[in-house]
Amino acid sequence: MSGILEGKRVLITGVLMESSIAFHTAKLAQEQGAEIILTAFPRPTLTERIARKLPKPTKVIELDVTNDEHLGRLADIVGEELGGLDGVVHSIGFAPQDALGGNFLNTPFESVATAMHVSAFSLKSLTMACLPLMQSGGSVVGLTFDAQYAWPQYDWMGPAKAALEATNRYLARDLGKQNVRSNLISAGPIGSMAAKSIPGFSELAAVWDSRAPLEWDLKDPEPAGRGVVALLSDWFPKTTGEIIHVDGGLHAIGA
């Protein structure tokens, strides 16, 4: 029986650790029949080492999503490797340390601008860089952390994720005529490299222990990866502008 991504070509960003959602997305995508290519920044060699743990070899290319030169050459590099694209996974987020950890009221605009550029605007810039390769349509899937709430310690990454979620809706609006879908997975907390950069992450993650209806495991990124792969597949052909929660159901519970 063939996998749900059989014959698909997918670009995946953000593979930094084996514990990341992006790594498990890449692993599952290959297992489901996709041909993938990975991007990395600022240390492609780190991603190359992690990529060796995937079921099949895959190329890693350097991509800084804030660098117009990198974005401008992306379609040529990926096109030469895969011929085209059917899916793009945006698993990119960054905020300077002074934009996190309870410093919300004192964060300078320069740090906020960096967080917004890397974490939200990049969904648009990455998608547009890949769009010439999606001649027959495709699926763009990003990762968010529920921006409905003000989370402990999360500070300016919260507004950045809110901007990401809005960007997703506008991409869905403007790319639908080209049969390109844009959706997000809103995942619960995972003990990834991104999480470790958030001061007081354990306080934020502890909310899941008391409120999530389904038991949540900080060490298990696979459920979120499965959600990404499902949205990349043809099983959601008319779903766009959506945010699918893979968070143990916490988003539905008030207290």
d(CA 158, CA 130): 26
Annotated binding-site residue? 192: yes
Q: Is pLDDT of 192 > 80?
A: no
Annotated binding-site residue? 247: no
d(CA 237, CA 101): 40
Q: Which residues contact 79 (CB under 8 A, 6 or more apart)?
A: 132, 133
Q: pLDDT for 13-24, tens place per residue?
A: 999 999 999 999
Shortest CA distance to 213 belongs to which of 185, 243, 255, 152?
255
Q: Which two tokens stand for residue 179?
A: 């049969």
Q: What is the mean pLDDT of the chain?
A: 95
Domains of the chain (ranges, CATH numbers): 7-245 (3.40.50.720)
Q: Is pLDDT of 152 > 70?
A: yes
Q: Is 0.85 topped by the overall pTM?
A: yes
Q: How confident is the model at residue 206 (pLDDT cuts 50, 70, 90)?
A: confident
Annotated binding-site residue? 233: no
Annotated binding-site residue? 22: no
Q: Is pLDDT of 198 > 90?
A: no
Q: Is pLDDT of 193 > 60?
A: no
Q: Average of pLDDT values for 86-108?
A: 96
Q: Quote the Cα angle for 62-80-13, to 5°.
A: 35
- With a pLDDT cut of 90, the percent of the chain lying above it is 88
Q: Average of pLDDT values for 248-255?
A: 92
Q: Tell me if residue 170 is catalytic.
A: no
How many other CB atoms are found less than 10 A from the CB of residue 88?
27
The pLDDT score that the predictor gives to residue 63 is 98
Catalytic hit among 27, 124, 161, 170: 161
Annotated binding-site residue? 161: yes
If DSSP states are collapsed to H, E and C, what string results for 17-72? CCCCHHHHHHHHHHHCCCEEEEEECCCHHHHHHHHCCCCCCCCEEECCCCCHHHHH
Q: Tell me if residue 161 is catalytic.
A: yes
Q: Please count the CA atoms within 13 angstroms of the CA of 166 that sit on its side-chain side.
A: 11
CB 212 within 8 A of CB 188: yes
Annotated binding-site residue? 36: no
d(CA 252, CA 255): 9
Catalytic hit among 8, 27, 124, 154: 154
The pLDDT score that the predictor gives to residue 14 is 95
Annotated binding-site residue? 50: no
